[in-house]
């Protein structure tokens, strides 16, 4: 059995502060709504229990978004996109035709131009074929690597063109 090899590249990025600010507002709404819902569902209502339940919901949402994303390029030149520590999508670099910066509305990152048949979905959660079709129609890319910076697109492009 061969030993696992180190990846050629690992990039981990967290969401921009404007996304965190938006999610913080949502987390506060989750906390208030979760507290109120927990209070209504209790047999003997107590805000001492309902309050922490709502706060826990808000914290879970905030931590979920704060985890960001990771992009790895393995030794066999496969790009793997990870969200929340889960491998979501893999695509061979040989199939990629280019990387472009995507910045539209709340969606920011690096777009991966490749045939949609080259994408291998590794998890049920995360981007789906429907997302791929929407990105191809709207942005001309098969996959968006969220939160990546423009310099990451350059690094990935350089790695793609190396043989």
Q: Where are the domains of the chain?
A: 15-66, 69-161
55 vs 89, higher pLDDT: 89
Band of the pLDDT at 2, cuts 50, 70, 90?
Answer: low
Place of tokens 């826990």: 56
Of 53-57, 101-105, 120-124, 133-137, the range with the lowest mean pLDDT is 53-57
Using a 10 angstrom Cβ sphere, with 0-12 exposed, 13-18 middle and 19 or more buried, the burial of residue 56 is middle
- DSSP-derived letter for residue 82 is E
The per-residue pLDDT of the chain, averaged, comes to 86
**In whole angstroms, what is the distance from residue 95 CA to residue 80 CA?**
13
User: How many residues comprise the chain?
Assistant: 163
**pLDDT reported for residue 155:** 93
Confidence of residue 46 (pLDDT cuts 50, 70, 90): confident
pLDDT tens, residue by residue, 131-163: 889 989 999 999 999 889 999 999 999 998 886
Cα-flanking dihedrals φ and ψ of residue 62, to 5°?
-65, -45
d(C-alpha 116, C-alpha 141), whole Å: 9
Tens-place pLDDT, residues 108-132: 899 999 998 999 999 888 888 898 8
Identify the architecture of domain 69-161 in CATH: Roll (2.30)
Label residue 82 exposed, middle or buried (CB < 10 Å: 0-12, 13-18, 19+): buried
Q: Which of 161, 157, 137, 132 is nearest to 71 (CA)?
A: 157
Would strands 78-83 and 69-73 be described as parallel, antiparallel, or unpaired? Answer: antiparallel
């Amino acid at each position: 059995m061969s030993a696992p090899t180190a990846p050629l590249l690992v990039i981990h990025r967290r969401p921009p502060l404007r996304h965190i600010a938006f999610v913080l507002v949502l987390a506060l709404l989750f906390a208030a709504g979760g507290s109120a819902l927990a209070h209504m569902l209790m047999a003997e209502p107590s805000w001492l229990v309902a309050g922490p339940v709502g706060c826990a919901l808000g914290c879970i949402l905030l931590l979920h978004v704060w985890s960001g994303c990771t992009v790895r390029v393995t030794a066999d030149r496969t790009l793997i996109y990870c969200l929340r520590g889960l491998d979501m999508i893999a695509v061979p670099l040989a199939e990629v035709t280019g990387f472009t910066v995507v910045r539209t509305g709340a969606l920011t990152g690096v777009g991966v131009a490749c045939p949609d048949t080259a994408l291998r979905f590794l998890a049920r959660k995360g981007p789906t074929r429907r997302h791929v079709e929407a990105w191809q129609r709207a942005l001309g890319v098969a996959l968006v690597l969220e939160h990546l910076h423009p310099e990451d697109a350059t690094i990935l492009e350089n790695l793609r063109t190396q043989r």
